[in-house]
Structure formats: C-alpha cells, structure tokens
Structure 1
Amino acid sequence: MQFFDTFLTCYGWEGIALAGAMLVLFGVQLYYYIFVYGRIPGYKNNRRAAVLEADPQVSVVVPLFSEDYSFIEERLPLILAQNYPDFEVVIVYVGHDTDFYEDLVRLKQSFPQIVTTKIHLDPRFPISRKMALNVGIKSAHYECMVFTSTDACPQTDRWLALMAKGFTRGEIVVGYCGVERKKGFSNYMMRTWRMMHSADWIARAVQRRPYRGTLHNFGFTKRLYFGANGFSHLNMNIGEDDLFMQKVMTRDNVSVILSPRATLREKTWGGMGWWMGQLRYFGSAFRFYPQAVKNFIQWELGSRALFFATVLCALAVMPFEYKLAALALLLVRYVLVAVQVRRLARRLGERGIAGCYFIYDLLSPLWALALCILLVRRDDRVWR
C-alpha cells in the first residue's frame, strides 16, 4: 500500500493507468508467445491415438489452370520423386489447349502413377478451384488424398511420406507451406507474414481447436468429403482450406504434420503489390470465421499494437526512470519473442527470420490495418 501511495504521488493516476495498461498488454503477449506459439516447437503428432495400422495409399490432387510448362518441368518431377511406395498424382487440367493436354497424357508412359483428367474451359462458365478439386477427388483411386497447388514445391523427398503418415492418426492432415526465399525486404516480409499467420492456425490445431489448413499442403479422406456433401460456400471461389475445413474439423480427426522435411515452398509471382492482392483475395473468407477464431487472431495483433503505443506514450511524457522501466519491459518482450520465433522457424524449416524479426514485429500491425481497409471493398474475384 505504501508503494502504491508513493507511485501515485510521483506519477499520478495517469501514470498508474499507463503502467497497468502496459503490464496487462505485456501479459497478453506473454500468453501468446509462451503458451500458444510456444507449444508448436515441441508438438508430436504420434501422441494421438492411431486410427490406421499401416501407412495408406495416397492420391496427390493438383488442379492446373493454365498451360504451365514450368510446373511440368520443374515442380511436378519433385512430386513424382517422392520417397513413398504407393501413390498417384491426379492432375486436373482446366483449359482448352488440346496439345498441352496430350502432352500431359503422354507423361503417363514414363510415370505410370500419373492420372490426368480435363475440364474444358468455357469463358461463359468459369471453373473454380473447388470444382477442379471435386473432379480430382472423384478421379482419385485412393481413399486418402493430399492436395497441393502448381505453385508449391516440396523441399525434400520425404514430404508425401510424412503427410501420408498423418492419416494413420486422423481423417484430416494439415501441413505447413512457406514462401520461397529470395533476396530483398519484400520477400522477407512475405515469408515472415506467412510463418506467423500460419502459427495462428497451427497453434490452434495442436491445442485440438483447429479451424483451417493451407491450400498448398492439406489432405482428407474421401469418406469425410462425401459425408459432408462436398465443399461448402459454393458461391465463393475460395474457402476449401478454411471455410470447408471449419465444417468438418473436430478435436479428434486432425493430424498436424510439423517438420522441415514436410514443408513446401510457394513460388511468388510479384512483389508487395501482388502479395497484398493475394492477401485481400483469400482474406475475404475471414468475415465468415467463427467469432472465437476472429478474437484469437485479432487479440495478438491488437495487444501488440497497443503495447507499443503505451510504451511510446511513456517515452514521450513520463519521467526518466519511468521511461527506463518501459524500455526494459519492451526489451524483455522482444528477447522472449525472438527466442520463440527462432524455435518456431526451426521447427517449420524457415531460415533467416529471427534476426530481423523486430522489423516485422513493428510493421505488421500497420500492414494488417491496411489489409483490413482493403477488405472493406468487395473483391469481385471471390464471388461466383
């Protein structure tokens, strides 16, 4: 009580309120980085009860929406070279180039595990990724299916084996996909944004409260898909990895595969403008998320921004010793965050993230605010 009176005399009610706000926000940040994100590095999926005795046969389904020879020549061979005994690759070509499709069909002569199917592209009737995946699911010969994209590249030949093993402990398998590493500040921000926003849904999944995966690296069984009558939100071109997953995910049917050997990398096709366009497009599904999930995601960003604001306020108007205490609190938080981010990056197979993380740490709330403003305007690409 004497300490409180002394503090009140020195700094007034304003100083007490500011210190209380800083400590509360600091506590929220500690909760996220220690008890939420901190569970990811040590997670072991083999602690879940087994539902299959042996690793299953797997169909890898890949929708192909253009005459993408770079995929055929560079990324498809990495999928075909996976070290797994029994799998097929189902390629769903959406287009009207007969010569290209014949080239795809001829690949089966060299790679018998390839299955090809075609959807004729008519400009009057646009084909969504969900429709292509639906055709691929019906064309797949195996019960367990893993889905990826033409932009994603396996980092090792163990990717499919690890994803397939996930089906021994759940009907849904989710894995991580990062962004390809290039030089430059924009690429660093893209890679860090992807890792930390993936950490949100991965953390919930390891806590048995899953709400999504990533469209580049997830899977489920045919029984689950047809039992749910196919994809949901058919009036949208997006949502197969989040809105549909929220419909079918439970506490006990999701396997989370976390290993650098099971990581994919997404190819980037531009800079920050392209990236913001991608975030706006796929972020249009966020408004349909459960409120509890929205709160979970927004509390970390909001508490971080407010914590920085309270520290800045203390540095601007409070006495010298108060400023030192605020800076010490800021430093303790950053050391804790840097340690946890380094552990997280190591588990997901990311490199070069932790060293400059303070830049992302400061700028990402502003970035998120800009994205929220962009999402106010309807994105016509999303709706059918």
Structure 2
Amino acid sequence: MIILDIAIYTLIVVVLIQAFFYLHIFGKFAFRNSKKAVKNPTTPVSVIICAKNEAENLKTFLPSVIQQDYKNFEVVLINDASHDDTLEVMESFSKVNQHIKIVNVEPVETFWGNKKYPLTLGIKAAKHNVLLFIDADCKPVSKYWIKDMVSNFNSQTSIVLGYGAYSKVKNSFLNKLIRFETLHTAISYLSLAKLGMPYMGVGRNLAYTKAQFFKVNGFMKHMHIRSGDDDLFVNEAATNSNTRICVSTDSFTTSLPKTSFKSWFKQKRRHVSTAKHYKLNHKITLAFFYTSSFLFWVLSITLLTFWHFPIYVIALIVIRFIITFVTYGFSAKKLNEKDLILFLPFLEIFLIISQMAIFINNIISKPKHWK
C-alpha cells in the first residue's frame, strides 16, 4: 500500500511535468504565430540533393524541385558513389536544365558510408551562400517551397528549420505511427527553437548559409559519426539569435514513408543513435520529457490495475489527456496532420514502446548508417 501511495504522488508530479512541457514548451509552437518573413525574397539559392542509388526517386521527385517558382537558384546534385543509374539520371536532367550542377563523388575508403563527405563536396561546389537541403526521395508540396524557406533569412538568421512530412497511406497503422513520430519530433524541435534552444533539424527540409557551415568547420567535429549530417550540425551551429523556423504550408516537403515496421525501426535506430552527441542541456531536456511520458503510462496503468485512488488517478489522466489533445491539435493543424489526433493515445503508447525497444537495441548493437 505504501508503494501505491508513493506512486500516486509520483503521478501527480509527472502530470505537472508533462503539463509544463506541453503548455509552456510545446505551446511556444502550438499557440503562437511565427514571425513574419520577407514577402518576395530575391536571395540566390543553391538547392542541394545528395543521392546514393536514387535513380528512380530522382526521376519522380527532381522535377518538383526544378520547377520551383523562384528566379535565382541552382540545383546541386551529388552522386555519392551510386552503383545504379543515379549519375546517368542526373546527367539527363542537366542536359535540359542549365541550372543543374553535378558533383560526382568516387568511393573513398576513409569516408565509406558517411554522407557528410559527399555533402561537404557539394556545399563547396555550390556557388550561392544560402543552401537549401532536400532528400532525393522528397518533393516540395508547393512550387513556392524555395521562396517560403528563403524568406526567413535576414542579416541575423543563418539557419532555417523546415518541416518534412511523410505521405499519407490509407488504412495503415504503421503509416500513422511514422507520421505521428514525425509530428512529435517536429513539435519538439520547432518549439525548442522558438523557446531559444534549437537542437536539431531534418535534412528533408533544412536551410543554412555557406558562411555558417564554414564558421563551425562544417561537419569536422562529428565527421567520425556516420549519421547526423542534419541534426548534429544544427545542434552545434544553431543559437537563439541565428535560427528561425518556417511552417507555412507552402514550405513543407513530403517523403515516401517506410512500408514495413522492420525498415522503419532500422531507420529510427540510425536517427536516435545521434542524440547521445547532443549538447548536455538538450539531452537532459529530452530525457526529462521522455522519462515523464513513460512514467505517466506506467503509473497510470499500475494504479488503475490495483484501483488505488481511482477518482484521483482518472482525474489526472483526463487532465493530462486534455492538455495533450489541445497542444497536439493546434500543432497538427499547423502542420497539416489533423487526422492523427483521433488516434493520439494509441499512437503515443506504441511510440513509447518503440522508443524503448530502439534504445535497448542501440545499447546492444550499433545501427547501420548511410546506405
């Protein structure tokens, strides 16, 4: 009985911590509007796409980048030692578009499997200071993608964090789980950026200046880590004063989601493995949130199972649910993911279980990286 008494008091503390995160931290994004950006930017831009064995995806998605409604931009295509027809596809596009520049990277044993090496060569080859990144299996949702992302740059801003969504698949719980994890991650990094503590971005939709890249010596501090060309760079280079977020609907990109739990699980293992290299305050903040989320479910289920102070437990669960539904609801509306809210409790439970499994697996063995 004493243990259950301690559990109910712990649950109260956990709910208060969760309320702080959802209302104060995530609320920075959910309930507040972003700063207005320049309406019609004219800054020249280099769009950078690094591709390894992405011939078919380039055929499908590259036209949506080339056809952007923006006056002054080039597309830097990086072929990272592909063994399919990636280079040939790039060359076919360059023959009919003079704004395409190809960087062909030969295999280098020292940097095998490390995306940062070809990216560095592509960045050096880019002729413009503003760099906009997108993956080969992604497409902008609008022809105004470049305009909206670039409009957030000014004399102080050198990093712009965008939102990279995943395509919707009907009647697929896995697709909802993937999109919910993506939504939650976006809410987290966009909110903390607005709070003045930017800690990551996603390479599917990210922009920064060439000057900022060389200011921190590019990827040198984490070149030995195969993943993290996006989040580890932002974690190192982003500050309260040089970072902005862009969440206008025209600025989104969308990617093909994984179609099996196994492939998604492997992908997330790679992504999660970089988090241990974040700055200490970022790791503490994220660990605090995930631990409190895990404890909320464990304590709630335990106390309801033993029917210990049921009225108080149910009240705490309802309060926490209201807070999460409201916060996620406003955020999902901004990011065009409203259909996920109905399944929120189930998706959250599955995500927590998946994250625990990923954490344990990463301790047991190292994940594979850039294909």
Give the TM-score normalised by the residue count of structure 2.
0.90
Letter in 1 for 2:162: G
1:307 aligns with 2:293: no
Counterpart contact for 1:187–1:271, Cα < 8 Å: no
- Residue 224 of structure 2: aligned partner: 235
2:277 matches 1:292: no
Q: Could you say which residue in structure 1 is the equivalent of 2:343?
A: 356
Letter of the 1:211 partner, please give it: Y
8 A contact 2:42–2:72 mirrored in 1: no
Alpha-carbon distance in structure 2 between the residues aligned to 1:314 and 1:125:
52
Shift of 1:17: 3.4
Q: In 2 relative to 1, CA 274–14 (structure 1 residues): closer, same or farther, beyond 3 Å? A: closer
Offset at residue 255 of structure 1 (A): 1.4
Relative to structure 1, is the Cα distance of residues 81 and 362 closer, same or farther in structure 2, using a 3 angstrom cutoff? same
Correspondence 1:327 to 2:314: yes
What residue is the counterpart of 1:9 in the other structure? none
CA–CA distance in structure 1, aligned partners of residues 324 and 83 of structure 2 = 51
**Residue type of the partner of 1:130?**
K
The equivalent of 2:145 in structure 1 is: 159
8 Å CA contact retained: 2:58, 2:89: no
Write the distance in 1 (CA, Å) between the matches of 2:142 and 2:267: 26
Task: Report SS of the residue matched to 1:92.
Answer: strand
Q: Secondary structure at the match of 1:238?
A: coil
1:281-336 deviation line (CA, Å, top 9, x unaligned): 122112212232122112222212222233233323346xx312311221222122
Aligned to 1:7: none
Give 1:42 shift: 4.0
Counterpart residue number, 1:22 = 11
1:56 partner SS: coil
User: 1:101 Cα deviation (Å)?
Assistant: 3.0
SS of 2:78's equivalent in the other structure is strand
Question: Which residue in the other structure is 2:362 paired with?
Answer: 375
Q: Does 1:198 align with 2:186?
A: yes
Does 2:241 match 1:252? Answer: yes
Alignment of 1:2-13 (within 5 A): none
Letter of the 2:118 partner, please give it.
A
Aligned letter for 2:125? Answer: S
SS in 2 for 1:239: coil
1:126 to 109, 112, 118: 112
Structure 1 residue ranges without an equivalent (≥5): 1-11
Query: Is the Cα–Cα contact under 8 Å of residues 162 and 245 in structure 2 kept in the other structure?
Result: yes
Q: Which amino acid aligns with 2:200?
A: R
Cα deviation for residue 243 of structure 1 reads 2.0
Distance 1:280 1:100 in 2: 26
Alpha carbons of 1:362 and 1:42: their partners in 2 closer, same or farther (altered >3 Å)? same
Tell me, yes or no, if the aligned pair for 1:64 and 1:91 is still in contact at 8 Å.
yes
* Alignment-mate amino acid for residue 218 of structure 1: L
1:216 match = 204
Within 2, Cα distance between the matches of 1:96 and 1:241? 21
Go from structure 1 to structure 2 and tell me whether the alpha carbon gap of 1:99 and 1:284 turns closer, same or farther (over 3 Å shift).
closer
TM-score of the superposed pair, with normalisation by structure 1: 0.88
Structure 1 residue 265: Cα displacement: 1.5
- Which SS does the other structure have where 1:182 is aligned? coil
RMSD in angstroms over aligned alpha carbons?
2.6
Worse overlay, 125-134 or 19-28: 125-134
Paired residues of 1:94 and 1:127 also in contact (CA < 8 A):
no
- Displacement of 1:60 in angstroms is 0.3
Q: Structure 1 stretch 94-103 or stretch 57-66: which is displaced more?
A: 94-103
Deviation at 1:47, TM superposition (A): 6.1
Deviation (angstroms), 1:246 = 2.0
d(CA) in 1 for partners of 2:250 and 2:89? Answer: 31
Deviates more, 1:339-348 or 1:299-308: 299-308
Gapped regions of structure 2 (runs ≥ 5): none
Mapped pair 1:273 → 2:259: no
Residue identity matched to 1:215: G
* 8 Å Cα contact 2:189/2:198 also seen in 1: yes
Q: Deviations over 1:141-179 (max 9, x none)?
A: 111001111122211112111111122251011111122
Alignment check: 8 A CA contact 2:41 2:147 kept? no
Larger Rg: 1
Classify the secondary structure of the residue corresponding to 2:339: coil
CA contact (8 A) 1:121 1:127 kept: no
The equivalent residue for 2:90 is 104
Letter in 2 for 1:160: I
The CA distance in 2 between the partners of 1:18 and 1:177, in whole Å, is 39
- What CA deviation, in whole Å up to 9, does each residue of 1:257-285 have, x standing for no partner? 11222111221243111011011112211
Residues paired across the two proteins, number? 367
SS in 2 for 1:353: helix
- CA shift for structure 1 position 89: 0.8
Contact 1:259 1:349 in 2 (8 A): no
- Cα distance 1:35–1:65, how it changes in 2: closer, same or farther (>3 A)? same
Give the Cα–Cα distance (whole angstroms) in 1 for the partners of residues 112 and 16 of structure 2. 49
Matched, 1:187 2:170: no
